[in-house]
Amino acid sequence: MSAEIILSDKAFMGIVLSCIEVYKKECLGILLGYNIPSSKQFIVEYAIPLQSAERKHTEVSIKWRRESKVLDVLPNLIQLEKLGYFHSHPQYGRKKGVAELSEEDIESMNTRELELVVAINDSKRSSWWNESDKGLKGTLGKYRIEIAGFYKRTSDEEVKSYRIVCPYAVGFDQAFS
């Protein structure tokens, strides 16, 4: 079985709405869910944006003390684990956002955690949502969105690309057309 990240409808909506809200600047959030090591699967139930993140056009940074407040109360709210983070790479001027990790992204990744990178760009035409080995992509309104998933192994700190599965997103166009 290939390694994959399964996004719930709630996680998908949290990710794309967070990216759209601050479009032209990067967004950042926490992924919550389950890790099933025996099947190399991560099930992402929720994507919670970090509102106090310092946003710029080409970078975003966490205020660690504020993030720790959120992480401290999570066990009292829900029995899910922190799986990692998501952040966006938005279009800025003529420079298109790409769903790839930068060197800084790789350096800041923690081992045994996911990182979802969301490319968000202007779109002149719509396209249906689809999944591929490179990620999940489609349009919402006037935005072209592509989500790619990565995992940093503990054994050698190598970053691996993971397939993203989101039945909600792929069925989105049929349900709302």
pLDDT digits (tens, 9 = 90+) for 19-74: 999 999 889 899 999 998 888 899 999 998 886 556 555 655 665 666 666 667 66
Element (H, E) at 82: strand 81-90
| Confidence at residue 77, expressed as pLDDT on a 0 to 100 scale | 67
Q: What is the pTM of this model?
A: 0.87
**Banded pLDDT at 171 (limits 50, 70, 90):** confident
- Residue 49 and residue 13 in contact, taking contact as beta carbons nearer than 8 Å: no
Backbone angles phi, psi at 129, to 5 degrees: -75, 140
If we measure between CA atoms, which residue out of 17, 41, 31 comes closest to residue 140?
A: 17
Element (H, E) at 126: none
The fold of 4-176 is Cytidine Deaminase; domain 2 (3.40.140)
Spatial distance between the Cα atoms of 57 and 24, rounded to a whole number of angstroms: 6
